[in-house]
Amino acid sequence: MYRELPDGFRTTFVVGMCDMINYLIPYIASEHRPRFESIVDFCRELDSGTVREKFDLYVNDNPQSKDLAAAGYFFLALNQWSGFDAQ
């Protein structure tokens, strides 16, 4: 479904997801908070169009994404891009 949306709707989706993660941070258990803060920091480094373009490429490069919920898949992508696990 995500792939079928127009550019503007896909941009709104990724911006909304980044905002949602940002607003969740105070409610996240302290042991998980650094991961979420890393993701939010990554989102802040890029403008919304760039985040959407990056996710579009990620979705296109991962055919299994069509079978997964876009929100969950976006979180997986952000988790990977933030580099938290590589630290």
User: How many structural domains compose the chain?
Assistant: 1
Examine residue 63 and state whether it is found in any structural domain, yes or no: yes
The chain-wide mean pLDDT, for the chain, equals 89
Residue 67: pLDDT band (50, 70, 90) is: low
Distance CA 39, CA 43 (A): 6
- Indicate the length of the chain as a whole number: 87
- 14 within a domain of the structure (yes/no): yes
Full-model pTM: 0.82
8 CB-contact burial (10 Å; exposed 0-12 / middle 13-18 / buried 19+): exposed
For the segment 66-79, the average pLDDT, to the nearest whole number, is: 83
Is residue 50 assigned to a domain?
A: yes
Range of the domain at 15: 7-86
The answer to the question of residue 45 being in a domain is yes
Mean pLDDT calculated for residue range 6-14:
92
In a domain, 60, yes or no: yes
Would you say residue 2 lies in a domain? no
- CA nearest to 56, candidates 70, 41, 46, 36: 70
62-67, Cβ contacts within 8 angstroms, sequence gap of 24 or more: 65/2, 66/3
Say if CB 70 and CB 1 are below 8 A apart. yes
